[in-house]
Amino acid sequence: MRVLGVDPGLTRCGIGIVDGVPGRQLDLVGVGVVRTPHDLDHAQRLLRIHDGIEEWVVSHRPDAIAVERVFAQHNLQSVTGTSQAAGIAMMIAARHSIPVALHTPSEVKAAITGSGRADKAQVGAMVARILKLAEPPKPADAADAVGLAICHVWRGAATNRYAEAVERARATPRRSYRSHA
């Protein structure tokens, strides 16, 4: 499975792609960052993020896209731009009929390091170790995106099977059990 991870951000949007299946060595396909300048018009920044993610999707044709789930922080302006970048990634996935999954930062940290409270340096170090890289991808946004892709390879299949089972259960007519006492 080829997974494109997206660590959304308005200034730096991390991108990382891995190939693999659970239980086997994963391979790093590509890693990078889509950057936008602070002084560029907001709409133009979003367009650059769109074009950058679109280019990665078209060139690498992932089977799934894993996006970091945005959570409210203290800085509302920051979370707004991050949410918009995440929405762009999800829209591109939909346009290309690629399944998209959202993973929380603590879920990714737990999958990669074993602790949902790991810091960025620990995540980067473990990404490098898992992929047998000489050093972590830089900047941290790129390492986080690769971590998202790894997390999805490792956990996405189980999550998808669970979602499919729930959907099948909803579609199956329920039997009524009555006591015959």
Residue numbers in the known binding site for Mg(2+) are 7, 68, 141
**Run of H or E residues at 67:** strand 64-68
> Which residues, including other chains, have CB under 8 Å from residue 64's CB and lie 6 or more apart?
1, 2, 3, 4, 98, 99, 100, 101, 152, 156
- The span from the CA of 153 to the CA of 24, in Å, is 10
Nearest to 150 by CA among 87, 117, 101, 79: 101
- The vertex-148 CA angle with 147 and 154, nearest 5°, equals 90
Give the sheet arrangement for strand 12-19, strand by strand: 27-35, 12-19, 2-7, 64-68, 100-103
Q: Which residues are annotated as a binding site?
A: 7, 68, 141
Determine the 3-state secondary structure of 7 from DSSP.
strand
Which residue numbers are catalytic?
7, 68, 141
**Residues composing the chain:** 181
